[in-house]
Amino acid sequence: MNRVLESFARALDLVVEVCGWIAAWTGLALVLVMAGNVLLRYAFNTGSVAMQELEWHLMSPLTLLCIAYTIKHEGHVRVDILFARLPARVQQAIDLFSALAVVALSVIIILLSWRYVMQSYNIGEGSPDPGGLPYRFILKAMIPAGFVLLLLQSLAATARALAALLNPIAPPAAPSEPVPSHAL
């Protein structure tokens, strides 16, 4: 059972890893767009509404799609003052409860945001500003997409926590007895 749970967790990790890596590259695109906007504004005294909106269109995948990636790599803040002092079984139970709580939260946000995205898609929502970007639903779709990735990462954490809880902890080793001198 533990082998199945671990292979399931590794498969989900791979999806999160690839999506996180791809989304992280939007950071480079964001820097280039922002630098271009600053250059246009201050060097040429001009600008583009579409280019300014593109900044937050790139910020959305960078932040929302990289949440799961950050958690996978334990880049988040974790308060271990009390947790580290708890017995291993209690830590495993807390890890399982935490992972299941994030699974539930992710499902709720996916369900609530999906209608929001579909409404934007159905009305063909675009920028309200002249010269702005069309297809605002793509930007809004990053909300459920980011939480789908968080859901996958939380399912991987749930599988690992469950495997740890199902794995019996080996009893402490008995103190070794001295080897009798005649056995040497």
- Give 122-151 pLDDT, tens digit per residue: 999 998 888 888 989 988 999 999 999 999
Residue 181, amino acid: S
Task: In whole angstroms, give the CA distance from residue 96 to residue 98.
Answer: 5
Question: What is the average pLDDT across 86-94?
Answer: 88
Structure confidence by residue, pLDDT tens digits, 15-63: 888 888 888 889 999 999 999 999 999 999 888 888 989 998 899 888 8
pLDDT band at 184 (very low <50, low <70, confident <90, very high): very low
The DSSP code for 170 is P
Q: Whose structure tokens read 């308060």?
A: 79
Where are the strands (E) in the chain, listed by range?
Answer: none
- What does the domain layout of the chain look like in residue ranges? 2-71+82-166
Q: Whose structure tokens read 């937050």?
A: 56
Asked if pLDDT for residue 157 goes beyond 80, the answer is yes
Q: pTM score, two decimals?
A: 0.80
